[in-house]
Chain A
Amino acid sequence: MQFLITVLLDGLIYASYLFIVSLGLTITFGVMKILNVAHGGFFAWGAYLASISIIYLGDNEYNSFLYYFAIFLSAIIVGLFFGYIIERFILRKMYNEDIHLIVLATFGLFWILEDLILHVFGVDPLMPYYPAMELGGIEVGGIFQGVYSLTLAGLAIIVAFICWYFLKKTKYGKVLQSVIFDREVSVSMGINVTKVYLITFIIGGMLGALGGAYIAPTISVSPGFAIDVVVMSFAVVVIGGMGSVPGALIGSLIVGLVRAFAVHQAPILELFIIYAIMAIVLIIKPEGLFAPPKPRKI
């Protein structure tokens, strides 16, 4: 029983982390059909900006509540700033180009964002551990879990709910679904697709940055740490179906739980098993488990 509870909790925490990071990636792809490799740059910038804010607040003994304010504010600033610049001045000029070129452009942007970090924050690792340390640990199923890590699951649920509500219950969500379904039809219906693209890219960037900012208090934030996160997010998005929000959720859960089980039972297979699942999904259902339906064009 202790084993099952532990695997379940470990899997859920890791899945929550993956979901928050991959959600932005899948939304961007769903709406804009762009595989945004620069997503890792948003993640890294979110982590760095949150880190310096938290370290400043912690060192000067400000109210703990402000850590969380700093985390969300960092995500908003990074998403707005880089999201606007990248979409408005780079991607917008490339929408008519070959899709591979756009992927390459985002790949280049990722490295530019990474390099900017070196110039702005330097190479020394940052350790904004205050929130995680203050919340400490709690015994669940016989072993201690970090409370801060458990809050990740709460954050993922809130983000998933907001996303569902936004897409299903608001006017703008319906507009977004229309663009996801077919861009040309949406344009003919009078939807300002250019604006939709800009807002979507910014929101996607904010979600990526939120993943980095929220995870920062549990890691050593150092140059290059975002690369693996992007790769893992791709695996999640491919399993769940590119562009599908439920797909990102289910993909994250599958990867998180299977990985946790592997770590406990066959640690050496931890990485293999994730990509084995991805390969199997690609063979059986190449578009992913929950890929949105594509319109049949005549």
Chain B
Amino acid sequence: MKLTNLKTLGKIAITGLIASVLPMSVNAKDTVKVGVVSFLTGPAAGPFGTPAKQGAEIVIDAINSGTMPAPYNTKGFAGATMNPIFSDESGGGTKQVGLFRDFVQKQNVDAMIGYISSGNCMAIGPVADEVKMLTIFSTCGTERLYEEKLRSHVFRTQGNAVGDSLAAAKYIADEYFKGKVSTADKMYTGINQNYAWGQDSYKFFKLGMAQYMPSAVGSSKPQFPKLFSGQYGSEISALSLDKAKIVHTSFWNGDFEAFMLQALVRGFFQKKILVSSVGGSGVDSLDKKFPDGVIMGTRGNVGLIVRNDTTPLNKWFIESYKKRYGAYPLGPSYQYARAVMLYKIGMDKAAKAAGKFPTQDQVIAAMKGISFESFADTIEMKRGDGHQAVHSIAYGVTKYNKAKGEPGIEKVIKYSATCIYPPAGAISQKWVESGMPGRKCN
């Protein structure tokens, strides 16, 4: 064989080798590395961060092994196994922004999932866009995230807190105020933590009450104790002396449980009706001690509200969670699982459209405006230019289930997204104040 032929053969062989290897590196990936951030230390770890992490773990493992029910029953994320790196959310916005940059620039993650604190979401949102990192917020509730600015690389699978407060007000107007005529019965007050979440929750509850029940009167002395203050003796006395019968709270974590304990021994619930937008974890913690008759929401169709929902996905999630962790999944468990599910749906859809392993831009395009099946409802990414989820919100009344020997809920009403969230492009506060034009309630 001539030397030139050998050279030609060699070129063909090398070209063939490159051709066989190159598509693999571009078109397929064995693993995707994803940062999953939740509170693993501090007061929010027990009721929020740890259940959130556990919910994500269940779904990630099931998707990696292809054992999750349909429509998530294909193996992997566009075929790739997710390698999650769990990280602690505590320490405040500045620390979290630093950690986020570290994840992106040093650990070269493919996506970021999680975040419970609205403060952290507000701090990280702009940075995610700046460094062009696909980020799916799972839990934080501030409406400002998309109302102040649209986000190119940030998605949120949890509806904002406006819907929680408006649904609470609607539930009271629909269920409680029916036929009530006395002044005290029409009065309401609140006890909310003195920071953005607590202040905003009560503000929108009040705005909602003005719309759904114009004759209702808000107390002049709603309580705003410091976050994590733990001692509510004076507040409970003040609420007890207040004529208002309805008491709204967006307390969460240990604050909610401490308030419940201290109020319980003082006979508070015999005279007042508590409306809690996010106290689901406290129901399990207090178990049979938790009073019946508390109006309870869980920020969507998650946690306690859907405990008896028998959709295959929900049934599987509850059974898997109980088997692995020995407890019912809480709201944050569902919320983190949902964020992982959006990533899965987005990756698979983008890979199918591209015919190869998708780029980040293709995944973002696939996720934009998508609707996907959650555990007991459908999540629609229909706000914030297709980046912000809306979904129905349910409220019910706590009632201990003696037959099962566990906390339960009854009189559940689901409010559709069109009833409690402003239309795309609208600013929540202005929309509510102007009479919620275009709202459609079921």
Contact = CB atoms under 8 A, between A and B. Distances in A.
Interface stretch (A30-38, A91-99, A127-135): A127-135
A270 B194 CA distance: 10
A127 B234 contact: no
A17 B265 contact: no
Interface in B198-234: 221-226, 228-231, 233-234
Contacts of B237: 6-7, 9-10, 143, 145, 260, 263-264
Contacts of A220: 230, 253-258, 261, 282, 285
Nearest to B194: A271
B235 to A, nearest CB: 6
A263 B223 contact: yes
A114 B237 CA distance: 32
Contacts of B234: 7, 10-11, 14, 259-260, 263-264
Interface stretch (A80-88, A221-229, A285-293): A221-229
B225 to A, nearest CB: 7
A154 interface: no
A6 B241 CA distance: 9
Contact of A125 (B41, B225, B254): B254
B250 interface: no
Given A143-B237, A220-B261, A125 B194 contact: no
Given A123-B49, A223-B43, A268-B224, A146 B266 contact: yes
Contacts of A77: none
B241 A264 contact: yes
A219 interface: yes
B233 A10 contact: yes
Given A6-B237, A10-B234, A124-B50, A223 B226 contact: no
Interface residues of A, number: 51
A118 interface: yes
Interface string A1-30: 011001101110110010000000000000
Interface residues of B, number: 45
Interface in B264-309: 264-268, 282, 285-286, 289
A218 interface: yes
A149 B222 CA distance: 23
Nearest to A229: B230
Contact of B238 (A17, A125, A264): A264
Given A218-B258, A227-B228, A124 B266 contact: no
A173 interface: no
Interface in A156-207: none
Nearest to B281: A125
Contacts of B49: 123
A266 B46 CA distance: 33
A201 B221 CA distance: 43
Contacts of A123: 40-41, 45-46, 49-50
22 contacts: A6-B241, A9-B237, A125-B257, A129-B286, A132-B261, A136-B265, A137-B267, A144-B265, A144-B268, A145-B237, A146-B266, A149-B233, A220-B255, A222-B43, A223-B41, A225-B230, A227-B228, A259-B234, A260-B237, A263-B225, A263-B235, A264-B221
Given A267-B223, A267-B238, A270-B225, 17 more contacts: A7-B234, A11-B234, A123-B41, A125-B253, A125-B257, A143-B240, A144-B267, A144-B268, A145-B237, A149-B233, A215-B230, A218-B258, A219-B258, A220-B257, A220-B285, A267-B222, A270-B226
